[in-house]
Amino acid sequence: MIFLTFSTVKRPKYRIQVVKGEDLLKTLDKFLKKNKIKVASIKNWSISFFEEKSITSQRISRSIFHALKF
């Protein structure tokens, strides 16, 4: 499991969970559109892994995470 946690001005904490790193960006996009959140208003990004065995999936999700923070 991969957990992406972030906060905005309106709400202190959001948490998205995905199984594969490849699904992280797609799931985040759907979540932001559904809740009408702009990427520019997001702060305090963090990512964590729980029992993630695939190194490739971790690297993909970390790359997405660093690109989002940039």
Confidence of residue 12 (pLDDT cuts 50, 70, 90): confident
Residues in the chain: 70
Tens-digit pLDDT profile for residues 20-53? 888 888 998 999 999 898 888 888 888 888 876 7
Please, how many CA atoms are within 13 Å of residue 17, restricted to the half-sphere of its CB? Answer: 5
Which residues lie below 8 Å from residue 62, measured CB to CB, with a gap of 6+?
A: 21, 47
> What pLDDT, on the 0 to 100 scale, is given for residue 52?
65
Q: Cα separation of 70 and 59, whole Å?
A: 17
- For 55, residues 6+ apart whose C-beta sits below 8 A from its C-beta are none
| Domain edges within the chain | 2-69
Predicted local confidence at residue 4, as pLDDT? 87
Q: Which pLDDT value is given to residue 40?
A: 84
pTM of the predicted structure, to 2 decimals: 0.76
